[in-house]
Amino acid sequence: MDTAARGLLSTDSRAAIDAMLDDRLYDGGDKSAMFDLIARVRERYARLINADVDEIAFTKNVSEGLNAIVAAFDWRKGDNMVLCADLEHPNNVFPWRHLVRRAGVEMRVVAPQEGQIPAEALADAMDRRTRMVSASSVTFAPGFRMDMAAIGQHCRARGALFLVDGVQSVGILATDVAALGIDAMATSTQKGLLGLYGMGFLYCRREWAEQLTPAYLSRFGVDLGAGVHEAALGDGADRLMPAARRFDLGNYNYIGAAAVDASLAMMLDAGPRRIEAYVTGLARKLAQGLVDLGLPVCGGVPPDGKGSSIVALGALGQGQHDTVDDPAMAALYEHLSANGVRLSIRRGTLRFSLHVNNNAADIERVIELARGHNRGTIGK
């Protein structure tokens, strides 16, 4: 129950990695097969989030994707951007602070409301100099789902770019970037996409991408036409690749691509909506069971269709990553861990995060363990 830290690697992904390593070890590696793999992964990921293939770039992680967008934008002194910094991962705060120092851009920080990124407050903070709004689709703690469609609409109406950190939802919640009005979205593959560290995707909507100038440019971001060797220099015009492909640089993380190729195939086969319904259903069941024991679940049991894959227990902000101030919660964490439940502490809460590898028996076991521990220590 720790997908929000890193997901499980499937045996299919492991087999794909092994096959690639064997090929490299015994046969030197087949470059055209590697390029075919990249094309297939790009197409599968595009399909998963309802984007066009050209709207997907390969990155290392969330940080690289977010920074690629920030650095490619034509910022003017006095421009501003809006975010709810308290609920963002530091990787979606440092790039903005850097921008403030480098380019005189204003960072408008909106306060969270009961653990939520408040869509309307973000919109209220926007004005005619707002160029971007950035937010996580689901926060890493307490794991609430943000109203992406509402923010997307406000951004579209005002011509601002809506930039999403999608890492806590992609692969788990069905994500239709077109329907949600997302202009750019960064993710990495080690969490909900059930892949490896060091591999990520950047989606950027064509209309925006083609107005952006990447800070870095290299071979795969330059359009030399079909069939031209990767080492060719071209005619010197250095036309950028269409849409987000201009953000691709040099050789790819082929091993990371092989791992996520297998999980993308599984997700497309199972269907993103089915995965979402299954995982959020389990999370609601867990939240309900813990609430029934009198335990303080952040936000209580979410309404059907509004929850995420994350259930956070305890008071948000009491304690830090890996520590919790409340001795009762610390003891519960120890008890669960000692009994083989894998979870994390984030921002002082016990964070359970689920995926398709979990089932109803897992949920019952955690509730039973919490009930046993609860007697005499916490709640009723």
Ligand X SMILES: Cc1ncc(COP(=O)(O)O)c(C=O)c1O
Residue found under tokens 């028996």: 361
Minimum CB separation of residue 311 from ligand X in Å reads: 15
Site for ligand X in 95-124 (CB under 6 A): none
| 165 lies in the binding site for ligand X (CB under 6 A) | yes
Q: Which is nearer to ligand X, 81 or 224 (by Cβ)? A: 81
Contact letters (x/-) for ligand X, 73-92, by CB under 6 A? Answer: ----------------x-x-
| 353 lies in the binding site for ligand X (CB under 6 A) | no
The whole-angstrom separation of Cα 280 and Cα 300 is 14
The answer to whether residues 353 and 7 touch, using CB atoms and an 8 Å cutoff, is no
Burial 260-286 (b: 16+ CB within 10 A, else e): bbbbbbebeeeebeebbebbbebbbbb
Contact letters (x/-) for ligand X, 166-185, by CB under 6 A? Answer: -xx-----------------
Query: CA dist 278 to 140, 157, 265, 356, Å?
Result: 20, 34, 18, 7
Q: Which of 45, 73, 96, 140 binds ligand X (CB under 6 A)?
A: 140
The answer to whether residues 163 and 183 touch, using CB atoms and an 8 Å cutoff, is yes
Give the residues across from 57 on adjacent strands.
202
Q: Which is nearer to ligand X, 241 or 312 (by Cβ)? A: 312
- For residue 178, the tally of other CB atoms under 10 A from its CB is 13
Q: Which of 3, 13, 80, 136 binds ligand X (CB under 6 A)?
A: 136
Interface segment toward ligand X; rule CB under 6 A; list 59-67, 93-101, 175-183, 328-336:
59-67
Please tell me the count of residues contacting ligand X according to CB under 6 A. Answer: 11
Query: CA dist 81 to 20, 213, 246, 265, Å?
Result: 43, 19, 24, 36
Half-sphere exposure of 281 (CA within 13 A, CB side): 10
Backbone φ/ψ region at 308: left (φ over 0), alpha (ψ -120 to 50), beta: beta
| 344 lies in the binding site for ligand X (CB under 6 A) | no
| 349 lies in the binding site for ligand X (CB under 6 A) | no
Interface segment toward ligand X; rule CB under 6 A; list 162-170, 176-184, 239-247, 305-313:
162-170
Minimum CB separation of residue 188 from ligand X in Å reads: 3
Helix axis angle for 360-374 and 272-292, nearest 10°, is: 20
- Helix, strand, or coil here: 168? coil
Q: Which is nearer to ligand X, 90 or 294 (by Cβ)? A: 90
Q: Which is nearer to ligand X, 63 or 374 (by Cβ)? A: 63
Closest CA to 119 of 98, 99, 149: 149
Q: Which is nearer to ligand X, 256 or 289 (by Cβ)? A: 256
Q: Which of 3, 80, 188, 308 binds ligand X (CB under 6 A)?
A: 188
H-helix or E-strand spanning residue 227 = none
Minimum CB separation of residue 94 from ligand X in Å reads: 10
Q: Which of 3, 13, 61, 349 binds ligand X (CB under 6 A)?
A: 61
Query: CA dist 24 to 21, 29, 30, 97, Å?
Result: 5, 4, 8, 42
The whole-angstrom separation of Cα 29 and Cα 101 is 45
The answer to whether residues 326 and 141 touch, using CB atoms and an 8 Å cutoff, is no
Minimum CB separation of residue 213 from ligand X in Å reads: 22
Contact letters (x/-) for ligand X, 240-279, by CB under 6 A? Answer: ----------------------------------------
Interface segment toward ligand X; rule CB under 6 A; list 153-161, 164-172, 297-305, 352-360:
164-172
Minimum CB separation of residue 5 from ligand X in Å reads: 7
Q: Which is nearer to ligand X, 63 or 80 (by Cβ)? A: 63
The footprint of ligand X (CB under 6 A) covers 61-63, 89, 91, 136, 140, 165, 167-168, 188
